[in-house]
Structure 1
Amino acid sequence: MATTFKLGGTLEINRLGYGAMQLTGKGVFGDVDDRENAKKVLQAAVAGGVNFIDTAEAYGPDTNETLIADALYPYKPDVVIATKGGFVRPGPDNWVPNGKPDFIRQNIEGSLQRLKVDTIDLWQLHRIDPNTPVEETLQPVIEAVKAGKIRYVGLSEVTIDQIKQVQQILPIVSVQNLYNLGERKWEDVLDFTTEQGLAFIPWFPLASGPQKMADKIKTIADKHQATTAQIALAWLLKRADNILLIPGTKSVAHLEENLKAADVELTDEEFESLSK
């Protein structure tokens, strides 16, 4: 099993990364309660070998990117910070797509400042706004790529048709869709990204599925002396070599547990049994 993936064919990333969304207030709104602890979690992730961190302008909004810079800047040379834009946040748990070019431009400039970088390694469109033609939404992104402000572009929560539509406009290197052991409605998108050599970044990777799977997972977990979460992550790592994982947590102990999932090698038989 490959332990790394080359994003855009150039940035070598450890497949077990870290998603920073939980390092915010309730409903992914406002700043995280315990900022010092949040900084420790980010520092422990990088110390543990994580070199891919996923954030977004909408987390907080703004506070999550600032926190990452506070904790990790100046960044280690191989650390890739991926961010996203395209959501307005009126309040906790409230997400409104906004693909208007001015808003996207503002998102990009804001992310550059908050993350303290000259170039965003991976900028992802958080959602395609149904009220704005995607060609318009991506105009400022194309400009930012040309200006060297964005290295690579990704999409989130998209269909194969939407991926193909965007590929007519600009190259993309990654897709971030909801996908885990218990929720596999994007199976076709995952297969498409695998064929295309694009990274597939499942969000909410730790959900281990319906209760009826619990016994099956527990039997396999006991055999590997692993936790349910580790088995859920190990299944994703085995599912396809282009999957990059971004489990999130507010606890250093839980972070270390997640990172150990890379050491769990499921047999083909165990993988098949979980896949049913």
Structure 2
Amino acid sequence: MEDLVKHIRLRDLDVSRIGLGAMGMSHGYTGAGTDDEQSVRTIHRALELGVTLIDTAEVYGPYTNEELVGRALKDRRDQVVLATKFGMISHTGRPEGPDSSPASIRTAVEGSLKRLDTDRIDLYYQHRVDPGTPIEETVGALAELVAEGKIRHIGLSEAGPGTIRRAHAVHPVTAVQSEYSLFTRDPEARVLPVLRELNIGFVPFSPLGRGFLTGTIRSTEQFDSSDFRADNPRFSGENFQHNLHLADQVAAVAAEIGATPGQVALAWLLAQGNDIAPIPGTRRVARVEENTAADAVTLTDEHLARLSALPPAAGDTHNEAGMRMMER
């Protein structure tokens, strides 16, 4: 089948410019983990549509999402750029906080390789910056794994400019993954300029505002007790109403051009540069078809200007504990 998704390069790594985030198949969202076969079908459909970048992490579940992705990619491993993350789980007995010590990384990578049923990880991200381990030590350990062939490329997630520069000085960083969408514009001022200076690719997660930008969320009563959005500031009280109004404005643009609100949100992201590969998450075949079709949506200059001029979303992107782990 002819690929429906164009490709870009994250530094020197070729990927589809729309990827697939697998977290919600197993973790964090209403219904996660209830239908693994549906999730496997969704991954297979994404591959049929030309998606090559599949993203997971050891903490999703924990561990079960990597196992699911590994099953889905059996006999299809060479079709994908497989990305996973380490550091949110300590393998050295730290009582709390992220752990990116070399010893913890060694244990983490072996576990991920086994669960993913593969001999190499294409893109291995530090999930959050570890204030207890100098980034130079972390990247030094990752560079050893590159030399051993266990990982191919190094990534960072939610890292600030200083950390990115220090990491890149030890070993080239291929990609940085951070939250970026019409709702979350934070990377534009400080992070994106550094990435472009250093020729590092950018992988936005939650490009649909955790579902808000699809236009399908109208009430927090849609979430069950396992859904992390239930205590997310953006989905609370007055913030929710403010953000609902913003989502409705995205939906208005979608109605004008005959697309879905989610496709408009993704098309806006793609228009921000040819070094950006968002990873919208879903466990449904219909949604992955909708999301990949965003690659063919063209926004006029007027539409792009209207969308870019939307006021910021109200509320932090994470709860207080989550915000403390992000460098912005």
Map of 1:84-163 to 2, 5 A cutoff?
A: 84-88=85-89, 96-163=97-164
Compared CA separation, residues 212 and 35, structure 1 to 2 (3 A) = closer
Alignment correspondent of 2:10: 7
Compared CA separation, residues 78 and 195, structure 1 to 2 (3 A) = farther
2:24 match: secondary structure: coil
Alignment correspondent of 2:26: 24
Asked if residue 225 in structure 1 is aligned to residue 228 in structure 2, the reply is no
TM-score by length of 1: 0.90
On the 8 A contact 2:82/2:122 being kept in 1, the answer is: yes
Question: Unaligned 5+ residue runs, structure 2?
Answer: 91-95, 214-241, 310-328
Question: Unaligned 5+ residue runs, structure 1?
Answer: 90-94
Asked if residue 266 in structure 1 is aligned to residue 299 in structure 2, the reply is yes
Following TM superposition, by how much is the alpha carbon of 1:215 offset from its aligned partner in structure 2, in angstroms? 4.2
What one-letter code is carried by the residue in structure 1 that aligns with 2:115? R
Alignment correspondent of 2:43: 42
What one-letter code is carried by the residue in structure 1 that aligns with 2:289? E
On the 8 A contact 1:8/1:152 being kept in 2, the answer is: no
On the 8 A contact 2:102/2:137 being kept in 1, the answer is: yes
2:176 match: secondary structure: strand
Asked if residue 213 in structure 1 is aligned to residue 214 in structure 2, the reply is no
Q: Which runs of 4+ in 1 moved over 4 A?
A: none
On the 8 A contact 1:194/1:240 being kept in 2, the answer is: no
Alignment correspondent of 2:308: 275
Alignment correspondent of 2:174: 173
1:177 match: secondary structure: strand
On the 8 A contact 1:179/1:186 being kept in 2, the answer is: yes
State the distance in 1 between where 2:39 and 2:245 align: 34
1:210 match: secondary structure: helix
Following TM superposition, by how much is the alpha carbon of 1:123 offset from its aligned partner in structure 2, in angstroms? 0.5
**Between Structure 1 and Structure 2, how many residues are aligned?**
268
Alignment correspondent of 1:248: 281
On the 8 A contact 2:10/2:202 being kept in 1, the answer is: no
What one-letter code is carried by the residue in structure 1 that aligns with 2:195? T
1:83 match: secondary structure: strand
What one-letter code is carried by the residue in structure 2 that aligns with 1:3? K
What one-letter code is carried by the residue in structure 1 that aligns with 2:52? N
Deviates more, 1:182-191 or 1:69-78: 69-78
State the distance in 1 between where 2:66 and 2:126 align: 16
Following TM superposition, by how much is the alpha carbon of 1:261 offset from its aligned partner in structure 2, in angstroms? 0.9
1:239 match: secondary structure: coil
Deviates more, 1:259-268 or 1:202-211: 202-211
Compared CA separation, residues 194 and 85, structure 1 to 2 (3 A) = same
On the 8 A contact 2:124/2:153 being kept in 1, the answer is: yes
TM-score by length of 2: 0.76
Compared CA separation, residues 88 and 195, structure 1 to 2 (3 A) = same
Higher RCO (CA < 8 A, seq sep 6+): 2
1:130 match: secondary structure: coil
1:123-166 deviation digits (Å, cap 9, x = unpaired): 11101111222223333212111111111101000111110011
